[in-house]
C-alpha cells in the first residue's frame, strides 16, 4: 500500500551533504533511505568549517547523494520519482552551503513538478526523535536543541508552532566542545573525542563554572566555561598525562551537562509539558542522554523524554523530510535561503 506521504529531504546547511526518503503514515515515520556525505575529514585540517570549501564540496557531491537516496523509490514511466513533496533546509546555516541545497531542490521540484517546502534546520533537530517512534509524541512538549550552532529551549504547542524560551547568549554547547577540543589539541569535531576521554575521567577532578545555572531565565552561556578551561591550561600547562586529559574532559563535560539538564528540567516544570524532546549533535553525548532521563524520572511527573537514535543526532536529511511533513506547501518556489532564520519565525514560501 502506498504511504500517506513520501518525502525527499535535502540538507546542506553546514558541512554535511544529505538526502533522505521518509514515508509518513498514520502518525509515524519510516525512513527508507538516509544518505550523508560528511565533510568532517576535510574540515578537520582547518579545525572548523571554511564556508567556501564546504560549498564547493556540496556542489560536487549533491547529485550523487540525491540519486543514492532515491534508489528503491518507484518511478513513473517517464522516470520521475514517485514522491509527494521535496523538503529542503532553507536556514539557519551558512549562506553558501544553504544555497546549494535550496537551488538544487527548486530545480528538481520544478522539473518533476513536485510541491516544495522550506524547513528550518532547528525544527529538523526538534523532530529527529520522532523518526523512530511508533506514534508522534504527546504535545505540548519542550525541546532542548543542542548543536554546533545552537543551544535553544523551545516550547511546542503543535507541530509547526514554536515558542523560543531561551538560547545561548554566546557559544553554543557544541561550539564549546569544539573550541575546548581545539585548545587541547584534539581533533574536530570536538564533541565525540571529548566525550570519549570523559568516559575514563573523574568528573569532579576540576571545578569548572556552571554559568547561569540558577539564573531566572532559560538562557545559557558557555564562553566563560571555555575561558575557564583556557586559564586552567595556562596555569597548569596542557595535560601531559592521559589521565589528566581524561579528567579535564570529564570535568568540562560535566559542567556543560549540569547546566543543560538543570535548565531543561526547570523549563519543563514551568511550562507544564507532557514530553521533552532532545535533538542536535550534542544529543549524541551519552552523559547528557543519561542524565536528562534520570533527572526527568526523579523530578517530573509523567513527562516522557524522547531522544533521537544516534544516527539522527547529527545533521541528516531524514529529520528535514520529517519536519517537511508538518507544513503545507504554498506551491511557490520563491523562498530564499535565510542564514538567520529563527525557529519561531513564520515559515517562508
The C-alpha atoms of residue 318 and residue 23 are separated, in whole angstroms, by 10
Q: Smallest distance from the beta carbon of 312 to Zn ion, in angstroms? A: 11
Residues touching ligand KG4: how many (CB under 6 A)? Answer: 19
Would you count residue 16 as binding Zn ion (CB under 5 A)? no
Residue 211 or 285: which CB sits closer to ligand KG4?
Answer: 285
Considering only residues 136, 162, 177, 218, which one is a binding residue for ligand KG4 as defined by CB under 6 A?
177
Strand residue runs (E) in the chain: 5-11, 16-25, 28-38, 85-91, 116-120, 141-146, 151-158, 161-167, 275-279, 304-306
d(CA 159, CA 161): 6
The C-alpha cell at 196 is 570519549
The correct pick among 57, 171, 246, 315 for binding ligand KG4 (CB under 6 A) is 315
Q: Does 152 bind ligand KG4 (CB under 6 A)?
A: no
Among the listed ranges 56-64, 186-194, 318-326, 334-342, the one in contact with ligand KG4 (CB under 6 A) is 186-194
* In contact, 179 and 190? CB cutoff 8 Å: yes
Which residues ranging from 264 to 283 are in contact with ligand KG4 (CB under 6 A)? 280-282
3-state secondary structure of 108: helix
Instruction: Report how far residue 346's alpha carbon sits from residue 349's, in angstroms, rounded to the nearest whole number.
Output: 10
Q: Which stretch binds ligand KG4 (CB under 6 A): 64-72, 96-104, 143-151, 218-226?
A: 143-151
Residue 224: CB atoms within 10 Å: 17
Cell (9 digits) for 219 = 538562557
In whole angstroms, how large is the CA radius of gyration of the chain? 20
Strands (E), 224-298: 275-279
Q: Nearest approach, Cβ of 152 to Zn ion (angstroms)? A: 11
Closest CB 44 distance from ligand KG4, rounded Å: 12
Q: Which residue has the cell 526527568?
A: 296
The answer to whether residue 39 forms part of the interface with Zn ion (CB under 5 A) is: no
9 Rama class: left (phi>0) / alpha (psi -120 to 50) / beta: beta
Residue 36 binding ligand KG4, by CB under 6 A? no
Q: Does 285 bind ligand KG4 (CB under 6 A)?
A: yes
| φ and ψ of 124, to 5 deg | -55, -50
Q: Which of residues 195-254 bind ligand KG4 (CB under 6 A)?
A: 195
The least distance separating ligand KG4 from the CB of residue 316, rounded to whole angstroms, comes to 8
Site membership for ligand KG4, residue 48 (CB under 6 A): no
| Site for ligand KG4 contains 191 (CB under 6 A) | yes
- How many residues lie near Zn ion (CB under 5 A)? 2
Instruction: Give the three cell numbers for residue 79.
Output: 522516470
Q: Which residues bind ligand KG4 (CB under 6 A)?
A: 14, 147-149, 174, 177-178, 189-192, 195, 280-282, 284-285, 314-315
Q: Which residues bind Zn ion (CB under 5 A)?
A: 147, 315
Amino acid at each position: 500500500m502506498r504511504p500517506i506521504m513520501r518525502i525527499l529531504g535535502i540538507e546542506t546547511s553546514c558541512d554535511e551533504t544529505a538526502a533522505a526518503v521518509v514515508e509518513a503514515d498514520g502518525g509515524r515515520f519510516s525512513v527508507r533511505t538516509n544518505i550523508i556525505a560528511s565533510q568532517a575529514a576535510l574540515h578537520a585540517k582547518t579545525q572548523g568549517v571554511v564556508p567556501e570549501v564546504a560549498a564547493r564540496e556540496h556542489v560536487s557531491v549533491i547529485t550523487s547523494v540525491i540519486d543514492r537516496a532515491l534508489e528503491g523509490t518507484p518511478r513513473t514511466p517517464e522516470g520521475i520519482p514517485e514522491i509527494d513533496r521535496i523538503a529542503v533546509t532553507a536556514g539557519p546555516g551558512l549562506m553558501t552551503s544553504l544555497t546549494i541545497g535550496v537551488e538544487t531542490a527548486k530545480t528538481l521540484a520544478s522539473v518533476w513538478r513536485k510541491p516544495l517546502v522550506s524547513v528550518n534546520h532547528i525544527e529538523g533537530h526538534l523532530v529527529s526523535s520522532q523518526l523512530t517512534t511508533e506514534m508522534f509524541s504527546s504535545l505540548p512538549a519542550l525541546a532542548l536543541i543542542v548543536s554546533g550552532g545552537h543551544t535553544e529551549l523551545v516550547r511546542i504547542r503543535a507541530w509547526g508552532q514554536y515558542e523560543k524560551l531561551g538560547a545561548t547568549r554566546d557559544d553554543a554547547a557544541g561550539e564549546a566542545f569544539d573550541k575546548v577540543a581545539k585548545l587541547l589539541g584534539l581533533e574536530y569535531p570536538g564533541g565525540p573525542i571529548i566525550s570519549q576521554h570523559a568516559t575514563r575521567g573523574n568528573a569532579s577532578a576540576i571545578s569548572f563554572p556552571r554559568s547561569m545555572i540558577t539564573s531566572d531565565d532559560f538562557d545559557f552561556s558557555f564562553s566563560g566555561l571555555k575561558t575557564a578551561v583556557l586559564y586552567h591550561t595556562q596555569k597548569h600547562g596542557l595535560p601531559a598525562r592521559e589521565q589528566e586529559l581524561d579528567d579535564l574532559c570529564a570535568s568540562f563535560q560535566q559542567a556543560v551537562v549540569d547546566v543543560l539538564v538543570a535548565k531543561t528540567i526547570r523549563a519543563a516544570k514551568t511550562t507544564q509539558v507532557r514530553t521533552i524532546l532532545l535533538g542536535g549533535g550534542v544529543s549524541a553525548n551519552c552523559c547528557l542522554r543519561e542524565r536528562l532521563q534520570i533527572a526527568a524520572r526523579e523530578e517530573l511527573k509523567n513527562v516522557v523524554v524522547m531522544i533521537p537514535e544516534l544516527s539522527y543526532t547529527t545533521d541528516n536529511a531524514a529529520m528535514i523530510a520529517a519536519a517537511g511533513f508538518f507544513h503545507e506547501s504554498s506551491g511557490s518556489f520563491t523562498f530564499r535561503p535565510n542564514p538567520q532564520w529563527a525557529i519561531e519565525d513564520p515559515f517562508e514560501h
